[in-house]
């Protein structure tokens, strides 16, 4: 799988960029972006909770609720998107078995671009494929690497500055507005 950093960071940022959902709901449902990897403890991994059936069930709930319970419908849609995003990204990192238990066909897309730094010659790879059987769990898994650290560090720095500016602005608004409110109450 891509790192937890990728699974838990990219989908909510994409959702927030659409401005379609309340940021609080986007954060509330975030655990669904990692939920599929629970099947590591209940094999077959990449099959049981990585199938398309859970996102489809969420989509059905959204369809049923969208008219009378729009907020609940939004939550179902968010959960479904997070579940889908997880399996979709796993497609590029080892593959998933999307129709398990009806089929144990695993689909994957191996893609990369290597560059010879002396000649600047690129060597692109794009190799989508299918194989029978659920993906085997590698004996060693690179849980966290330099790319993930860089993404996480930049996000934390920007989030920290944003949070500091926000609290600073709220404090300034309270201080500046207080005398005006007192003036407004004078007869």
> Going by C-beta distance under 8 Å and a sequence separation of 6 or more, which residues neighbour residue 55?
80, 81, 83, 84, 87
Q: Does 25 bind Zn ion (CB under 5 A)?
A: no
Cβ atoms of 107 and 46 closer than 8 Å: no
Which residue's beta carbon is nearest to the bound Zn ion? 1
Q: Which stretch binds Zn ion (CB under 5 A): 32-40, 119-127, 151-159, 164-172?
A: 32-40
Q: Which of 90, 97, 98, 134 binds Zn ion (CB under 5 A)?
A: 90
Contacting range for Zn ion; rule: CB under 5 A; set: 88-96, 99-107, 150-158, 178-186? 88-96
CB nearer Zn ion, residue 37 or residue 72: 37
Q: What is the 3-state secondary structure (H, E, C) of the chain?
A: CCCHHHHHHHHHHHHHHHCCCCHHHHHHCHHHHCHHHHHHCCCCCCCCCCCCHHHHHHHHHHHHHCCCCHHHHHHHHHHHHHHHHHHHHHCCCCCECCCCCCCCEEEEEEEEEEEECCCCEEEEEEEEEEEECCCCCCCCCCCCCHHHHHHHHHHHHHHHHHHHHHHHHHHHHHHHHHHHHHHHCCC
Number of residues forming the site for Zn ion (CB under 5 A): 4
Considering only 34-42, 118-126, 150-158, 168-176, which stretch makes contact with Zn ion by CB under 5 A?
34-42
Site membership for Zn ion, residue 83 (CB under 5 A): no
CB of 34 to Zn ion, least distance (A): 8
- Binding piece for Zn ion, criterion CB under 5 A, among 8-16, 62-70, 84-92, 156-164: 84-92
Using CB under 5 A as the criterion, what x/- string covers residues 36-75 for binding Zn ion? xx--------------------------------------
Nearer to Zn ion, 22 or 105 (CB): 105
Task: Give the footprint of Zn ion on this chain (CB under 5 A).
Answer: 1, 36-37, 90
């Amino acid at each position: 799988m891509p790192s937890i950093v990728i699974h838990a960071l990219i989908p909510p940022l994409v959702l927030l960029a659409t401005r379609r959902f309340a940021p609080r709901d986007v954060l509330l449902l975030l655990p669904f972006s990692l939920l599929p990897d629970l099947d590591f403890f209940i094999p077959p991994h990449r099959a049981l909770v990585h199938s398309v059936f859970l996102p489809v069930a969420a989509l059905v709930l959204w369809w049923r609720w969208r008219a009378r319970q729009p907020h609940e419908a939004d939550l179902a849609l968010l959960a479904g998107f997070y579940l889908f995003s997880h399996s979709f990204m796993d497609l590029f990192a080892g593959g998933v078995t999307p129709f398990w238990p009806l089929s144990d066909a695993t689909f994957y897309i191996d893609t990369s671009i290597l560059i010879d730094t002396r000649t600047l010659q690129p060597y692109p790879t794009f190799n989508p494929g299918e194989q029978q059987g659920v993906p085997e769990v590698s004996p060693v898994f690179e849980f966290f690497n330099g790319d993930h650290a860089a993404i996480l560090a930049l996000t934390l720095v920007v989030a920290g500055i944003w949070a500091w500016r926000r609290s600073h602005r709220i404090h300034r608004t309270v201080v500046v507005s207080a005398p005006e409110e007192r003036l407004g109450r004078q007869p």
